[in-house]
Amino acid sequence: MTKTKVKTGKYTNFWERNRKSGGYLLRKTMMEYGISICRTILLFGLCFLILQPLLTKISVSFMTEGDLYDPIVISIPLHFTTENYRLAAGLMEYTKSLFNSFVVSLTIAVVQVAMCTLVGYGFARFQFPLKRFWFACVMVMILIPPQVISTSLFLHFRYFDVLGLGQLLTGSSLNLRGSKLPYYMMSFGCMGLKNGLYIYMIRQFFRNIPKEMEEAAYVDGCGTLKTFIRIMLPDAKPILTSCFLFAFVWQWTDGFYSSMFLGKVSLLSVKLKQLPDTFGGYMARITGSSSSAGVSVPYTNCMLATGTLMVIVPLVILYLYAQKGFVESLSSTGIKM
Amino acid sequence: MKRQKTKLAGLQKRKAISGYLFISPFIIGFLMFMVNPLFQSLQMSFSDVQLGDGGFQNVWKGLSNYYYAFRVEPKYVRELTEELSRMAINSVAIMVFSFFVALVLNQKFRGRALVRSVFFLPVILASGVMLKLDSSNALMAALAQTVKVNAQGTAGITDALRNILRTTGVGVRAFEELFKVIDNIYNVAISSGIQIIIFLSGLQTISVSMYEAADIEGCTKWESLWKITFPMVSSLFLVNWIYTVVDFCMRSDNKVIDRITTYMNVNLNYGLASAMAWAYFVLVMAIIGVSTAIISKGVYYYD
**Is the model's pLDDT at A110 over the cut of 90?**
yes
**Is the model's pLDDT at B278 over the cut of 50?**
yes
What is the average pLDDT across B261-285? 83
A172 Cβ under 8 Å from any chain B Cβ = yes
Count of pairs with CB atoms under 8 A, one residue in A, one in B: 286
* Top-ranked range on mean pLDDT: pick from A178-187, A241-250, A264-273, B179-188: A241-250
Within 13 Å, how many C-alpha atoms sit on residue A269's CB side? 29
The predicted-structure confidence for B166-218, as pLDDT tens digits, reads as follows 676 666 677 777 777 777 788 888 888 888 888 888 888 788 898 999 999 98
- B101 contact residues in A (CB cutoff 8 A): 46
Closest to A294 (Cα-Cα) out of A280, A282, A273: A280
* Top-ranked range on mean pLDDT: pick from A28-42, A58-72, B41-55, B233-247: A28-42
- B115 contact residues in A (CB cutoff 8 A): 43, 47
**Chain A closest-CA separation from residue B167 CA (Å):** 28
Closest to B77 (Cα-Cα) out of B285, B279, B290, B289: B279
CB A238 within 8 Å of CB A162: no
- B17 contact residues in A (CB cutoff 8 A): 128
pLDDT given for residue B213 in this prediction:
92
Distance CA A20, CA B178 (A): 47
**Is the model's pLDDT at A183 over the cut of 90?**
no
Q: Determine whether the interchain pair A39/B55 forms a contact, defined as Cβ–Cβ distance below 8 Å.
A: no
Of B40, B129, B190, the CB nearest to A269: B129
- B289 contact residues in A (CB cutoff 8 A): none
pLDDT given for residue A309 in this prediction:
87
A118 Cβ under 8 Å from any chain B Cβ = yes
The residue type found at B160 is A
B261 Cβ under 8 Å from any chain A Cβ = yes
What letter would DSSP give residue B252? T
Query: Percent of chain B having pLDDT more than 70?
Result: 81
The band of B138, judged by pLDDT with boundaries at 50, 70 and 90, is low
Q: Determine whether the interchain pair A301/B139 forms a contact, defined as Cβ–Cβ distance below 8 Å.
A: yes
**Is the model's pLDDT at B106 over the cut of 80?**
yes
Distance CA A90, CA B219 (A): 64
The predicted-structure confidence for A190-227, as pLDDT tens digits, reads as follows 887 888 888 888 887 888 778 888 888 888 888 888 88
DSSP of A56-123, one letter per residue?
A: HHHHHHT--HHHHH-SS-SSS-SS---HHHHHHHHHHTHHHHHHHHHHHHHHHHHHHHHHHHHHHHHH
**Is the model's pLDDT at A91 over the cut of 70?**
yes
> Torsions phi, psi of B254, nearest 5?
-80, 125
Distance CA A19, CA A7 (A): 18
**Chain A closest-CA separation from residue B107 CA (Å):** 10
Of B19, B154, B189, the CB nearest to A50: B189
Q: Determine whether the interchain pair B133/A137 forms a contact, defined as Cβ–Cβ distance below 8 Å.
A: no
> Torsions phi, psi of B151, nearest 5?
-90, 95
pLDDT given for residue B1 in this prediction:
43
The band of B18, judged by pLDDT with boundaries at 50, 70 and 90, is confident
Q: Determine whether the interchain pair A147/B261 forms a contact, defined as Cβ–Cβ distance below 8 Å.
A: yes
In terms of Cβ atoms closer than 10 Å to its own Cβ (0-12, 13-18, 19+), residue A267 is buried
What letter would DSSP give residue A160? B
Q: What is the overall mean pLDDT for chain A?
A: 79
CB A197 within 8 Å of CB B39: no
Query: For the whole model, what pTM was predicted?
Result: 0.80
CB B241 within 8 Å of CB B291: yes
The predicted-structure confidence for B29-81, as pLDDT tens digits, reads as follows 888 888 888 888 888 888 887 776 656 677 777 788 888 888 888 888 888 88
Query: Percent of chain A having pLDDT more than 70?
Result: 82
**Is the model's pLDDT at B160 over the cut of 80?**
no
The residue with greater pLDDT, A276 or B55, is A276
**Is the model's pLDDT at B2 over the cut of 60?**
no
Q: Determine whether the interchain pair A250/B127 forms a contact, defined as Cβ–Cβ distance below 8 Å.
A: yes
Distance CA A97, CA B129 (A): 15
Q: Is A77 left (phi over 0), alpha (psi -120 to 50) or beta?
A: beta
Query: Percent of chain B having pLDDT more than 90?
Result: 5
Q: Give the mutation candidate from A43, A123, A152 for the B interface (greatest B CB count, under 10 A).
A: A152
Run of H or E including B288:
helix B270-298
What letter would DSSP give residue A293? G
Q: Which long-range contacts (CB under 8 A, 24 or more apart) does A213-216 make?
A: A214/A125
Closest to B123 (Cα-Cα) out of B199, B233, B197, B204: B197
What is the average pLDDT across A300-316? 85
Residues in Cβ contact with B26 at an 8 Å cutoff, skipping those fewer than 6 apart? A115, A119, A134, A137, A138, A189, A190, A199
Within 13 Å, how many C-alpha atoms sit on residue A250's CB side? 25
Q: Give the mutation candidate from B124, B135, B254, B264 for the A interface (greatest A CB count, under 10 A).
A: B124
pLDDT given for residue A333 in this prediction:
55
- A253 contact residues in B (CB cutoff 8 A): 124, 127-130
B205 Cβ under 8 Å from any chain A Cβ = yes
- B302 contact residues in A (CB cutoff 8 A): none
Of B38, B107, B236, the CB nearest to A337: B236
Q: Give the mutation candidate from A331, A333, A335, A336 for the B interface (greatest B CB count, under 10 A).
A: A331
pLDDT given for residue A306 in this prediction:
87
Instruction: Work out the widest C-alpha separation in chain A, in whole angstroms.
Output: 101
Beta-bridge partner residues of A160: A174
**Is the model's pLDDT at A332 over the cut of 70?**
no
Of B29, B33, B138, the CB nearest to A297: B138
Residues in chain A: 337
* Top-ranked range on mean pLDDT: pick from A108-117, B3-12, B26-35: A108-117
- B185 contact residues in A (CB cutoff 8 A): 49
**Is the model's pLDDT at A102 over the cut of 50?**
yes
The band of A337, judged by pLDDT with boundaries at 50, 70 and 90, is very low
B53 Cβ under 8 Å from any chain A Cβ = yes
In terms of Cβ atoms closer than 10 Å to its own Cβ (0-12, 13-18, 19+), residue A222 is middle
- A324 contact residues in B (CB cutoff 8 A): 113, 117
pLDDT given for residue A336 in this prediction:
44
What letter would DSSP give residue B300? -
A190 Cβ under 8 Å from any chain B Cβ = yes
- B280 contact residues in A (CB cutoff 8 A): 145, 147-148
